[in-house]
Structure 1
Amino acid sequence: MSGQDYRQLRDAFGAFMTGVTVVTTLDDDGAPIGFTANSFSSVSLDPPLLLVSLAKTSRNFQHFAAAKSFAVNILAEHQKAISNTFGRPVADRFSGIDWRTEQSGAPILPEVSAWFDCRMERVIDAGDHAIMLGRIEAFDANNEPGLGYYRGTYFTPAKSGVAAAGGPAVLVSAILEQDGRVLLVERNDGALSLPEARAARSGTSTALGELIAASGLEASPGFIYAVYEDPDEGKQHIAFLCPSSNGQPKQGHFHALTPDTLHRVADEALRTMLTRLADESRLGNFGVYFGNQRSGQVRRVAQE
C-alpha cells in the first residue's frame, strides 16, 4: 500500500471507539516500563485471557517480548495526562506516579478504572506488531468511568452523559444502516421507531449485541451517535450507528429517511436524530449528540 493508503487505513481503524490503557512490565534491571495502548481486548473467560498488541518499532518491544508477565491498566476518565506521558518518548514515564505491584511484579497504576495482572501466555507475530496474549492472574475494577478514544482524540463518556451508574434507566437503540436506509420497526400505534432494548447490569455493549443478533442482520457494533436524557420519563437514551452489510431483517423494514418516513416517527427526539442522520449522511460528516430530549449539542468528535 502507498503512504496515503496507510493513512486511510489508520483513519478507518480509528472509527472504532475504544478505551485507553497503559501496559506495564519490568525490564531486565527491574525498572518499570510501559506504553499507552488502545489495542486491548478480552479474549476468554475460561481460561481468563486478554490480548494487547505492540508495534515492533517500539523502544520497549524487546523488553515486553521477553517478559514473563505484564499488567494492563485501564485508565480512568481523568487520566489523560498519564495517557499522554506513556504515549510520548519520555525519559522516565513513571516519574511522580505512586505505582504498586500485585502477583507478577508488573506495575499497577493508581486510580485506574480496572487493572489486570497477567502472566505472558504467548507472543504472536502479527506483521509490524506483535500480539501479547496474557493469562489473567489477578484483577480489580471499580465504578470510575474509563477514558475513551475515538478518531484520534480522547472521549470522556461520563462527563458527556454516557455513564449513568445509579441514574435513570438506560435504553439502547440500534441505528442499523444499509445502503443509505435505516431499519425501523412499527409500533402498535403504527408509528415507526428504532429497535431498542433496556441495558441491564451487563451493560450497553451487551444490549447492543443482543439487538443486532435479534435483527437477523450482519452488522458491526458501530459507534455512539447520540446520548440524551429524558427526565420526564426517567430514561437515558444511547443510540449506536451500526453499518449493516448483509441479511434480511427478522422484524421491521429498511426505510430511506425521506420526509414521508420521518413523518411516521412519532417520538420527537428520535425524529430529530434521524433527520440529522439524513443530513450528515449526505455530507459524510458525522457528530455525536449530547443533551436531553429537547436540546443539546452535536460535537464533531475528531475536532475536540
Structure 2
Amino acid sequence: MDYMDPRGLRDAFGTFMTGVTVVTSHDKNGNPLGFTANSFTSVSLEPPLLLVCLANSSSNYEALTQAEGFAVNILAEDQKDVSNTFARKVDDRFAAVSWKKGPHGSPILSGVSAWFDCSMHKIVEAGDHIILIGKVEVYDASTAPGLGYANGAYVTPSATAEALNKTTNLVVSAIIERADEVLLIDDGQGGLALPEITADKSGATIALNNLIASTGLGAQPGFVYSIFEDAERERQNISFLCKAGDGLPNLGSFEKLTEQVLSQISDPAVASMLERFANENSIGNYGVYVGNETSGKVRAVNSKG
C-alpha cells in the first residue's frame, strides 16, 4: 500500500482505549510547561523506564528536547477539565490547576491517579514524532480511578459503574487475582462462583469494598472488567478486577483457571468471562466487556506492562 489515509489511520489508532496523561516539565527559564498526551507506555522495571511521544510540530518540542527531565501525571476520572486545559492553547495552563514542584523538579498536578518524576534517559526520533524515554526517579500512586480515552471521547468506567447504582438488582462481583490464580467460592449448588454482593443505595464502590473486606484479604480494588445485563434474572452485573496480597481468604480458595476448574463454574456468563480473563492474563492485555449474559463487545485497554 503506497498511500495511507492519515485521518483513517489516526481513527484506527483511536479505537485502542488508553489512559490520559499530562506531561510536564519547564523551559530554560524555569517556566512550567505541559501538554495532554495519551501516548504513554511503561517500558522497563529494571531500570525503571517509561515513554511518551511528542509531535515534531509541538510548541513544546524545543523545550522538551533540551530538558533534563519531565513528569507524567496520570489523570483521574474527574479531571476531564484538566485534560482539556492542557490540550488547548492557553496563555497560562498552570493558573487553572493546583500543582507543586516534584522531587526531581518537574510540575506535579494535584488529584491525579499517579505521577512519575523522571530524568531524561533518551530521545528517539520516530517519523513525525520524537519518543521521550524517561527514567523514573520518584513516583506516587493513589486509589483514584484513571480517566480513559477512546474513539475521540473520554471513558469513565468507574463513573459508569456508579451510574448503574440507580438500577435495581445491581450485583457486584470481584475477580480477585493472585499469582495467576483467582478466588472462587462454593455457589451452594455443587459448583464454583466468584464472590459477589448485591449493591444497595451506597453504590457499587462501597459494595466492592464490603465484598473485599468479607474475604479477609488485603485486596486492592481495580478497574471494571465486565458490565453485563442478565435479562433472565433481571439484574445488572459489574465485575471488578482486583489484586490480592498475602494471606488466606475467609471463604473459598485461589484456583488456577484450568479447563477443569472453568467447567465447574455454574454460571455460563461468569465461566465465559473467566475464560477470557485467563487468556488475557497470560499475555498481560485486558479488555472491558459490555453487553448482556450471552453477547457483547470487548474494548481493549492498556497492557499491564
TM-score by length of 1: 0.59
How far apart are residue 105 of structure 1 and its match? 1.3
In 2, Cα distance between equivalents of 1:92 and 1:15: 32
5 Å-filtered alignment, 1:183-222, equals none
CA 46–289 in structure 1, closer or farther in 2 if over 3 Å, else same: same
Q: What displacement does 1:95 show?
A: 1.4
SS at match of 2:12: helix
Q: Provide the rounded CA distance (Å) in 2 between the counterparts of 1:225 and 1:289.
A: 9
8 Å CA contact retained: 1:24, 1:70: yes
The AA in structure 2 aligned to 1:110 is: S
Counterparts in 2 of 1:203 and 1:49: CA distance versus 1, 3 Å = farther
1:228–1:238 contact (8 Å) kept in structure 2: no
Find the residue that maps to 2:10 and give its secondary structure: helix
Contact 1:169/1:234, CA 8 A, preserved across alignment: no
1:127 lines up with 2:127 in the alignment: yes
Amino acid at match of 1:78: D
Structure 1 residues 232 and 114 mapped into 2: Cα distance closer, same or farther (>3 Å)? farther
1:144 partnered with 2:144: yes
Summarize the alignment of residues 154-233 of structure 1 with structure 2, pairs less than 5 Å apart. Answer: 154-161=154-161, 168-171=172-175, 226-228=226-228
Q: CA offset at residue 157 of structure 1?
A: 1.4
Deviation at 1:268, TM superposition (A): 7.0
Shift of 1:104: 1.8
| Alpha carbons 2:69, 2:106 under 8 Å: kept | yes
> Which of 236, 239, 243 is equivalent to 1:237?
239
Instruction: Say what the alpha-carbon RMSD is for the aligned residues.
Output: 4.4
Identity, % of aligned pairs?
48
CA contact (8 A) 2:172 2:239 kept: no
Listed as ranges, the matches of 1:206-285 within 5 Å are 226-228=226-228, 236-237=238-239, 267=267
TM-score, normalised on structure 2?
A: 0.59
How far, CA to CA, are the matches of 2:31 and 2:67 in structure 1?
12
C-alpha spacing 1:168/1:237, structure 2 compared with 1 (3 Å) = closer
Question: Counterpart amino acid of 2:14?
Answer: G
Q: In 2, Cα distance between the equivalents of 1:96 and 1:142?
A: 22
Provide the rounded CA distance (Å) in 2 between the counterparts of 1:154 and 1:234.
23
**Corresponding residue for residue 191 of structure 2:** none
Q: Which runs of 4+ in 1 moved over 2 A?
A: 1-4, 167-172, 200-205, 228-239, 266-271, 287-291
Q: Take 2:86 and 2:291, find their aligned partners in 1: how far apart are those partners?
A: 30
Alignment of 1:54-133 (within 5 A): 54-133=54-133
| Structure 1 contact 161–290 (Cα < 8 Å) conserved | no
The residue that corresponds to 1:220 in the other structure is none
